[in-house]
Chains A and B, each alone.
Chain A
Amino acid sequence: MTQKTISLNENSYKILKKLKKKNESYSDLIIRLCNLQDPSLNDPLLEYSGIFSEDEDLWEKIEEAINNHRNSHLTSEIQ
């Protein structure tokens, strides 16, 4: 993985150092803090949102088929 260098002032560094857990890298710490601020940043569902968007009409039909399948297995079938 490529590395990027960022500069911090002394105060920011001290704060990060205080927040860093044992065995946690500064990269992991920054990701953890960003996730606390905005959990959607590390959300696979949002990361992959849109993978079905190109075939929206087709997925409408597929959804209908899924619904029909769901509606064909009712709780009343269980004795």
Chain B
Amino acid sequence: MYLLDTNIIIGILKLKQEFVKKYKEISLKSQPIYLTTYSLSEIYLGFHNPEFKQSFPKKVKIQVNLFNKMVKNLEAQKRIISLGVEDAKILGKLLYSLKAKGNPIPLIDALLGAISISRKMTLITTDKAHFKALKAIENTLKVEFW
């Protein structure tokens, strides 16, 4: 099972060929592939970008509509997840370890890491720096960098 970070989702929606190709490859290997509500909120944040919203209001509306349809379909396939009780236990451990090591990382990275560890998913991301740091603290984190 795989979990996609926001940068991978945006890359696929931008039709970044390298990501689309790799995504198709993993789709054949392992299903389902999950997304988190945290990534969705980051993309919805993107739609509020002032430059985008003010310069291309019609385009934003079209993209939001298409994105909403995609989310609805993914939700119907139960592929959108968020922090559950067991994930929270892992997150607590990670937060303690990160603090003890004096090595803070973005909170969303810790959330994605905790969900991946707890549910034995491989996290796919482009963010080497933070997730290598997290793996150094919790070796059971499975992460693939695209």
Which A residues are closer than 8 A to B by beta carbons?
Answer: 38-40, 43-56, 58-59, 61-63, 65-67, 69-71, 73-78
**Complexed CA–CA distance, A49 and B28 (Å):** 17
Is A76 a contact of B15 with CB atoms below 8 Å?
no
**A contact residues around B70 at 8 Å (CB):** 44-45, 47-48, 51
Nearest chain B CB to A78's CB is how many angstroms away?
Answer: 6
Nearest chain A CB to B86's CB is how many angstroms away?
Answer: 19
Is B7 close to A, CB under 8 A?
A: yes
Which B residues are closer than 8 A to A by beta carbons?
Answer: 6-7, 9-10, 12-15, 20, 23-24, 27-28, 31, 33, 35, 42-43, 45-46, 49, 51-52, 56, 59, 63, 66-67, 69-70, 73-74, 77, 94-95, 98-99, 104-110
Is A51 a contact of B106 with CB atoms below 8 Å?
no
Is A48 a contact of B24 with CB atoms below 8 Å?
no
**B contact residues around A56 at 8 Å (CB):** 14
**Complexed CA–CA distance, A44 and B76 (Å):** 10
Q: Which applies to chain A's interface (DSSP): helix, strand, loop or mixed?
A: helix
Given A46-B24, A65-B46, A66-B45, A52-B13 contact (CB < 8 Å):
yes
Is B107 a contact of A45 with CB atoms below 8 Å?
no
**A contact residues around B10 at 8 Å (CB):** 52, 59, 62-63, 66
The 6 sampled A-B contact pairs (Cβ below 8 Å) are A56-B14, A58-B49, A65-B45, A74-B106, A75-B98, A75-B105
**B contact residues around A58 at 8 Å (CB):** 49, 51-52, 56
Nearest chain B CB to A40's CB is how many angstroms away?
Answer: 5
**B contact residues around A44 at 8 Å (CB):** 69-70, 73-74, 77
Is A61 a contact of B95 with CB atoms below 8 Å?
no
